[in-house]
Amino acid sequence: MHIRTFRAANLQAALAEIRRQMGPTASVLHTRQVRDGWLGWLGRTHVEVTAGMSDEFPASEIPVSTTASPADPMALEPTGIDARDPSSDVSIRLRTDSSDDLPASLEVYRSELLQLGVPHSIAARWISSTASFQATLGDHSSPLTWAEPLQQTVARNIKIAGPIRTRPGHRHVVALVGPTGVGKTTTIAKLAAGFRIEARRQLGLLTIDTYRIAAVQQLKAYSQIMDLPMEVVEDPGDMQAALERLGDVDLVLIDTAGRSPRSDARIEQLVSYLDAAKPDEIHLVLSATSGLDSILTTLNGFSPARPDAMILTKMDETPHSATVLAALEQSATSDRGNGRSLPLSYVTHGQQVPDDIGIADADALAQQMFPSAVSRQHLEAA
């Protein structure tokens, strides 16, 4: 792959020159704003764009230099970087497909997504789908801000399971599974408080997390505060008897011990408890602070438990949702995600019981794609 870095007064000029010199197959790899002058002071701001072209094009067809117009000292200036040696520019790792018809401001969003850790294939898919959908609306002019169309594209790809549904007089058993430290016990308490106080359901709590004494004590404290029956199960053979001892309740919430998704033996042990409990629903709990690799590993590792939905926790501890949403989308096609795209049921955003939990909302999650409104304004101004 041949890599060139261009400088121009603005992004639109840079992209136009890239397409003129490198053709429509060129890929935008990286963009940034830089300022001339001493330590960035007293200089002019301009845009630096790194673009790449496949090695299948002869090197002789790639212009090696261009002359700035005397009338425009800020005309495009290729820096002459040749990335046939991949070490010449780290941005080669951010390669994405490029489209001739993408608006310049939308290209900037793609660069931002890549910097946030979104895989290039998913970033390209989101961006191209946004542009295509906008074109189908019959309005060929670019919107004043691409933030909303992009968020709508991502939201359409988020599957939502909806909340746990119960009926008075019909026992519904729900188990929460997941790695250590994602907040399963606290989430159990939030769900229990919501169904007890707001939905006025009869509940029972059950835990198989006997590996951590603190976990049993924590759940027992919640059960006492909410005046709920609770059972501790240490062997799968005791599961049915424990469920019966909970009595005639509308909902049973089962807390499980955190398992490493890489430990087949521990996952098999978890499955034996679940087989004994025969839950109506199994929710996989994931932390929104986890990276893409960790989420895919978790989805694959817990696939033997056959989860029906996912709960995202710690949304208040992550600056943006772009990476986790990309991981959920990639899980549908990745072998490590086991080819399953699980829907989201709940999202938690703090430690307060029962306040900091809500039913998953695709639009709300997509609106948190970027770190802040300031970041979005910066993108639109580029």
Per domain, the residue ranges of the chain are: 1-95, 172-360
| pLDDT the model gives residue 191 | 95
Bridging pattern class, strands 45-53 and 172-177: unpaired
Are 331 and 283 within 8 A, CB to CB? no
Sequence-separated (6 or more) residues with CB below 8 Å from residue 9: 46, 47, 72, 74, 75
CA-CA distance, 272 to 255, in Å (whole number)? 14
Run of H or E including 274: helix 264-277
Bridging pattern class, strands 309-313 and 281-287: parallel
Bridging pattern class, strands 203-207 and 172-177: unpaired
State the chain's mean pLDDT as an integer. Answer: 78
Position 173 pLDDT exceeds 80: yes
| pLDDT the model gives residue 329 | 86
Is 172-360 a domain of CATH 3.90.1150.10?
A: no
DSSP code of residue 40: G
Q: Which residue has the higher pLDDT, 264 or 103?
A: 264
228-252: average pLDDT: 95
CA-CA distance, 376 to 363, in Å (whole number)? 16
Per-residue pLDDT band at 99 (split at 50, 70, 90): very low
Comparing C-alpha atoms, which of 177, 186, 182 is closest to residue 356?
Answer: 186
Comparing C-alpha atoms, which of 276, 353, 281 is closest to residue 313?
Answer: 353
Per-residue pLDDT band at 101 (split at 50, 70, 90): low
122-126: average pLDDT: 90
339-358: average pLDDT: 85
Instruction: Give the sign of the dihedral formed by CA 157, CA 162, CA 164, CA 167.
Output: negative
Share of the chain above pLDDT 90, in %: 40
Sequence-separated (6 or more) residues with CB below 8 Å from residue 280: 172, 173, 174
66-98 pLDDT, tens digit each: 333 333 333 343 443 333 333 333 332 333 345
- Distances in Å between the Cα of 94 and the Cα atoms of 5, 27, 47, 104, 112 are 14, 10, 18, 18, 11
CB atoms closer than 10 angstroms to residue 178: 26
Per-residue pLDDT band at 248 (split at 50, 70, 90): very high
| pLDDT the model gives residue 179 | 92
CA-CA distance, 112 to 90, in Å (whole number)? 16
| pLDDT the model gives residue 66 | 34
Q: Hey, what's the torsion of the CAs at 152, 156, 159, 160, to 10 degrees? A: 60
Please state the φ and ψ torsions of residue 42, each to the nearest 5 degrees.
Answer: 60, 25
Are 246 and 253 within 8 A, CB to CB? no
Are 239 and 279 within 8 A, CB to CB? no
Q: Hey, what's the torsion of the CAs at 174, 224, 256, 325, to 10 degrees? A: 70
Both structure tokens of 144 = 């004043």
Position 63 pLDDT exceeds 70: no
255-268: average pLDDT: 85
| pLDDT the model gives residue 278 | 96
CA-CA distance, 181 to 318, in Å (whole number)? 15
Sequence-separated (6 or more) residues with CB below 8 Å from residue 261: 179, 267, 297, 298, 300, 301, 302
Measured at the alpha carbon of residue 349, what is the angle toward residues 345 and 352, in degrees to the nearest 5?
110
157-168 pLDDT, tens digit each: 899 999 999 989
| pLDDT the model gives residue 39 | 39
Least confident stretch, 71-80, 108-117, 251-260, 345-354: 71-80
Helix, strand, coil percent values for the chain (each to nearest 5): 40, 20, 40
Maximum mean pLDDT: which of 34-38, 76-80, 350-354:
350-354
CA-CA distance, 147 to 158, in Å (whole number)? 17
Per DSSP, the three-state class of 251 is strand
Least confident stretch, 162-166, 339-343, 347-351: 339-343
| pLDDT the model gives residue 110 | 85
| pLDDT the model gives residue 335 | 52
Comparing C-alpha atoms, which of 143, 129, 120 is closest to residue 366?
Answer: 129
| pLDDT the model gives residue 310 | 95
Share of the chain above pLDDT 70, in %: 72
